[in-house]
Structure 1
Amino acid sequence: MASFDLDKSISIEFHGQDEIERKMLGLWADPRFKTVNLGMKLVGDNVQITMNKHHVTDISFLVFEQLAVKELAEIIIRQAKEKFNQ
């Protein structure tokens, strides 16, 4: 029988009411981001993307809207490798 520890559980309700929230939900589902504290916020006309509170890249909101979650994931991974593997 499986046991469930309520003290160690986390429950998040997220409705994805705008474009950034929906894409964030898709990225959180990607196993490559499972251990990364991935953040996105709209700053001016750009979506600022962070990993573990470190700035990774900015993407124009107009471009961000048109990209699929898979494309965003590839951009984020590529930019993170370039930035952190120097």
Structure 2
Amino acid sequence: IEDWVKICLPAKAKVKAELGNAPFADQCGLCEKEAVNVSLGNLLSYPFVREGLVKKTLALKGGYYDFVKGSFELWSLEFGLSKSVSV
């Protein structure tokens, strides 16, 4: 399971960089939510997922359940293609 959990190390790094002085409990909650974002981003590494998003036959949603408060947050991944530019 250790290797599987490592995928979310960028979430931890982002929270530490942006909110390193916040209370630990707040950092944990934000890290959990950011881990959902990392997982959504990881799904984009699959060609069939990207294809489904482009064709609008697939939508990705992220969810976070706070069992202490009994609340559920749901968010969408906005996906779009931009024109290529020469640099």
TM-score, with structure 1 as normaliser: 0.27
Relative contact order (C-alpha < 8 Å, sep 6+): which is higher?
2
Question: Whose helix fraction is larger, Structure 1's or Structure 2's?
Answer: 2
User: Normalising by structure 2, what TM-score?
Assistant: 0.27
- Whose strand proportion is higher, 1 or 2? 1
